[in-house]
Amino acid sequence: MRALAAVILAAWLLPAQAQQTASYDPKDFKRVVFKTRYEREVQFRAAAIQVAWSAEVLCDATTEIEPFVLWSLGTVGRRLDSDDLSLYTEVTGMDEQWRVAWLDEGAPDDLHVGDVVVAVNGRQLPQGGTRFDFGAILRGSSPLSNSEQPFWDVMLQAREEAKAGKPMTVTLKDGRTLEVDTQTGCAGSVTATGFDHEPDRFERNGAVRVKIPANAMLEARARDEFRWLAAFGTYFQASEKALGKARDSANVATAFVVGKILAAAVPGAGMLLSAAEQQAERAIAVDSVVGSADLFANEVVAAMGGDVNAGWRLNERFAELGLQVDALQMDAFRLSNAKEHAQRVADLRAAQARAAAAAEAAERRAQEEARRQPLVLPVR
């Protein structure tokens, strides 16, 4: 009887399964992949701009930075065939033209997401180039990849011109030219792409460019995780003077003083710094440059009002998923440091909030006392 029931059930389910199979589009998976990669890359690039603005006081070299992200399908790090290019355009609205992908509130009112930008400061935006990396052969990767460098050459020159006092302008495909208000931030660039031809590799080109592995960028979800990744890269562009504030004077190579970067980067630094100085154990031992970058990123995210735990939690996911993320992968020592540091920063912020509340209460009491004082008129 049970066997008969199973046969009947299978016969009933078969048409439904056949119908589902017939309606399944094998491109659906690619649609999800393309949309996800695009959205996370734009989130990361927006975070990189916001971090560069916020960390401006920590960088020796600064420049003016635009309040928008431009994106072109012509610069993906791994070439797609014509069908995939069409599918990518279908799900993202992006193509091989340079289109606006993100706007900060400081962008011109007449500039909109999806607008095609053909020139910046009067210079035509190139459609991308090809990069040859001989070292990639030794690493077992393809030496050829699409490159955004021609685009960045135009943007970086426009940034420097804005720093010198020349307003930045963008020319749209419809012929309009808009003037853009820029904001001072760290020079250089922290980049990542969803089609990285070496998605597991961290790359640093002096203080000019840092590449975050695609594996790390694509696993990020929350705003503060993207900001943490961008801040990690920004560490390598920050000034020695700023980094010195985070080092213990007894051993500049192996200690990170909690709260010093945070104090330098946020208003009300004196109050926060006083709280930091009151700690009996302020310095956390670090064993590498990347270990310091972890803690620097924690404090930059905290300075932006974010979750100081975002970085180490993201790193735990890297480990759980077995993702290869090169220099961003924390070993047990770095992870322990990041957790301890996050807790200390949280304690500092709580102390700052209590001190601010006490100061406000004292000010209110002083004002109330002043109102209670009798009015004394001068004797004539």
Could you read off the pLDDT of 45-97 as tens digits, one per residue? 999 999 999 988 878 789 999 999 999 988 774 567 889 989 999 999 999 99
Non-local CB neighbours of 30 within 8 Å, separated by 6+ positions = 84, 87
142 confidence band (pLDDT: 50, 70, 90): low
Helix locations, 164-308, DSSP H: 214-219, 223-234, 240-244, 260-265, 269-277, 289-303
pLDDT at 22 > cutoff 60: no
127 or 14: which carries more pLDDT confidence? 127
The C-alpha atoms of residue 208 and residue 229 are separated, in whole angstroms, by 17
In this structure, the answer to whether residues 80 and 163 fall within a common structural domain is yes
Of the candidates 267, 245, 271, 266, the one whose C-alpha atom is nearest the C-alpha of residue 256 is 245
Residue 30 falls within a domain, yes or no? no
Element of type H or E holding 285: strand 283-285
Report long-range pairs for 174-177 (Cβ below 8 Å, ≥24 apart).
176/110
Confidence (pLDDT) at 372: 81
In this structure, the answer to whether residues 284 and 349 fall within a common structural domain is yes
Answer with the one of 181, 200, 221 that is the final residue of a domain. Answer: 181
Least confident of 108-122, 238-252, 292-306: 238-252
In this structure, the answer to whether residues 278 and 359 fall within a common structural domain is yes
Residue 33 falls within a domain, yes or no? no
Confidence (pLDDT) at 144: 46
In this structure, the answer to whether residues 243 and 338 fall within a common structural domain is yes
Residue 92 domain boundaries: 67-181
In this structure, the answer to whether residues 162 and 244 fall within a common structural domain is no
In this structure, the answer to whether residues 291 and 351 fall within a common structural domain is yes
Residue 172 falls within a domain, yes or no? yes
Angle (deg, nearest 10), helices 27-54 and 289-303: 80
In this structure, the answer to whether residues 237 and 167 fall within a common structural domain is no
pLDDT at 221 > cutoff 70: yes
In this structure, the answer to whether residues 239 and 360 fall within a common structural domain is yes
Report long-range pairs for 275-281 (Cβ below 8 Å, ≥24 apart).
275/348, 275/351, 275/352, 275/355, 276/348, 278/351, 279/344, 279/348
Residue 87 falls within a domain, yes or no? yes
Of the candidates 217, 222, 220, 223, the one whose C-alpha atom is nearest the C-alpha of residue 203 is 217
In this structure, the answer to whether residues 177 and 237 fall within a common structural domain is no
Answer with the one of 181, 208, 223 that is the final residue of a domain. Answer: 181
In this structure, the answer to whether residues 152 and 242 fall within a common structural domain is no
Confidence (pLDDT) at 116: 97
The C-alpha atoms of residue 217 and residue 325 are separated, in whole angstroms, by 9
At 24 the three-state DSSP class reads: coil
The C-alpha atoms of residue 6 and residue 133 are separated, in whole angstroms, by 60
Answer with the one of 181, 214, 249 that is the final residue of a domain. Answer: 181
In this structure, the answer to whether residues 174 and 275 fall within a common structural domain is no
**What domain count does the chain have?**
2
Residue 52 falls within a domain, yes or no? no
Q: What is the mean pLDDT of the chain?
A: 81
Residue 211 falls within a domain, yes or no? no
Least confident of 164-178, 188-202, 330-344: 188-202
Residue 373 falls within a domain, yes or no? no
In this structure, the answer to whether residues 348 and 238 fall within a common structural domain is yes
Residue 380 falls within a domain, yes or no? no
- Mean pLDDT, residues 173-190: 94
Q: In this predicted model, what pLDDT tens digit does every residue of 90-140 receive, in sequence order?
A: 999 999 999 999 999 999 999 999 999 999 999 999 876 555 454 554 455
